Structures are given as C-alpha cells and as structure tokens.
C-alpha cells in the first residue's frame, strides 16, 4: 500500500509540473485576456483520459493499479476536469441519462455556488 501511495504521489507531482508547464507555455504564446492555458490543459487532459482509458481496456494489458496511478495520479493532477468529463461520458455511454445530466448540472452549478460562497465567507471574515 505504501508503494502505491508513493507512486501516486510521484505521478501527481509529474502531472502538476506538466500542467504548470503546458498551461504557462500556451498562455505566454496566446496572451492573457482569456485562460487559453487552462483550456488547452483541460482539452488535452480529456483527450488523454479517453485515449488511455480505451487503450488500457482494449489493447494494453495494464493492471488496475497502474491504470489508477496514471489516471488518478498523473491525470488527476494534470486536470481534474478530465475526470469529470470521463465520468460524465461513462454515464452517457451506459445510457444513465439522468445521472449524466445531474452530474453535468451539479458539478457546474454547485461548483459556481461553492466558489461564490467561499468568496463571500472570505470577505465576511
């Protein structure tokens, strides 16, 4: 278990550094008026999550632990947006329409509500 946690932490550190580098590079190239770096990282993360998930199911013989280290460790630190999209896509693929809509709606609406609640609390303190 300790070995798995160390690998998750290392993969997470690499994902963080990859996100920082990629987002920073894209932002420097395209300017600061729009969050191009975040957009690029989120889209790349969604693409890579779909690619890795599908290949690990059909062509690569990755253990569940290795898949977890890659998808949760590296990809989770690279962008949690890819996990949100991957999970929503799985709900759609499984024809769980209500859950898919609920996930898409709650993540966005409640996410904004939580953001503004945090802002309001910080201003009130």
Is the per-residue pLDDT at 99 higher than 90? yes
Question: In the prediction, which pLDDT does 94 show?
Answer: 93
Beta strands in the chain (DSSP E): none
Residue range 58-72: average pLDDT?
Answer: 87
Question: In the prediction, which pLDDT does 81 show?
Answer: 85
Express as a percent the part of the chain with pLDDT over 70.
100
Q: How many CA atoms lie within 13 A of 11 on its CB side?
A: 19
Q: How many CA atoms lie within 13 A of 7 on its CB side?
A: 12
Q: Rounded CA gap, 81 and 44, in Å?
A: 10
Burial of 41 per CB tally in 10 Å (0-12, 13-18, 19+): buried
Instruction: Output the pTM of the full model.
Output: 0.76
Question: In the prediction, which pLDDT does 60 show?
Answer: 83
Question: In the prediction, which pLDDT does 57 show?
Answer: 81
Q: Which of 26-30, 33-37, 41-45, 64-68 is the least confident region?
A: 33-37
Q: Rounded CA gap, 75 and 12, in Å?
A: 8
Residue range 29-33: average pLDDT?
Answer: 84
Average pLDDT over all residues of the chain:
90
The token pair at 69 is 């280290």
């Amino acid at each position: 278990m300790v070995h798995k946690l160390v690998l998750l932490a290392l993969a997470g550190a690499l994902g963080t550094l990859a996100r920082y580098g990629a987002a920073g590079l894209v932002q420097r190239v395209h300017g600061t008026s729009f969050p191009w770096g975040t957009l690029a990282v989120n889209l790349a993360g969604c693409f890579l999550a779909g690619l890795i998930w599908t290949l690990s199911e059909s062509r690569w013989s990755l253990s569940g632990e290795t898949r977890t280290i890659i998808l949760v460790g590296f990809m989770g630190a690279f962008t949690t947006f890819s996990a949100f999209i991957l999970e929503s896509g799985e709900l759609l693929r499984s024809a769980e329409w209500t859950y898919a809509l609920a996930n898409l709606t709650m993540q966005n609406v409640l996410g904004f509500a939580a953001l503004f609640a945090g802002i309001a609390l910080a201003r009130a303190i």
